[in-house]
Structure 1
Amino acid sequence: MKFKIGNMKAVNIINGIFITGLVYFLIFILNKYSFSLYISKAQEGTLLPDSIELQFHLLMLKIQTHGVPIIILVLFKLVCEAFYKFLRAFEIIIEKYNKNKDS
């Protein structure tokens, strides 16, 4: 069976999952920071429509809106690659077991 999805090296799969999780965590932290900064300025009454806090908050909302689904798709692809690796390893083990059993 010659089915291959992308680069199937285990190190690359694990690094990809780690980097994807790190990017998601960074987006999550920046979004929480921008929201708390936005709320604190709004409560003080010093929030203007062109203020940097509001612009940063709107930018983070756009990044979260468009970035999170892309990150989920990339993570799904990497998990599928890892699952395929496990299935392929089990298939090789079963083939060796059957070959030894027939001998």
Structure 2
Amino acid sequence: MSEKPSDFVEIQLTAAAAKLAPVRVATGRWSYLFEAGKTQRVLTSEWSRVLSKERVGGELAFELAPASASVPQNIPAATLAADHEPEPEEAASVEQKGK
């Protein structure tokens, strides 16, 4: 199953929540660790149902990151899912598939 760019959003701690960093948010399905000044890629559904409503001292805890911090849309899903740097021959293969 491939990812669609709209499946994920980049979010970050608000100024109010950054004072408490690092902040961990967890449920039975997923867990995130947020650090001040860093963005986190999360499922759009988790953002809209849970994270967008979290509050710290009455203020929102999370916000959408600026567009410049979002994941570029032209990166193949295989590259986003990789947990290592591709070997030169792997990188060439990914570049050729993207053309």
Q: Which has the higher contact order (CA 8 A, sep 6+)?
A: 1
Tell me the TM-score normalised to structure 1 length.
0.26
**More strand, by proportion:** 2
**More helix, by proportion:** 1
Tell me the TM-score normalised to structure 2 length.
0.26
* Higher Rg: 1
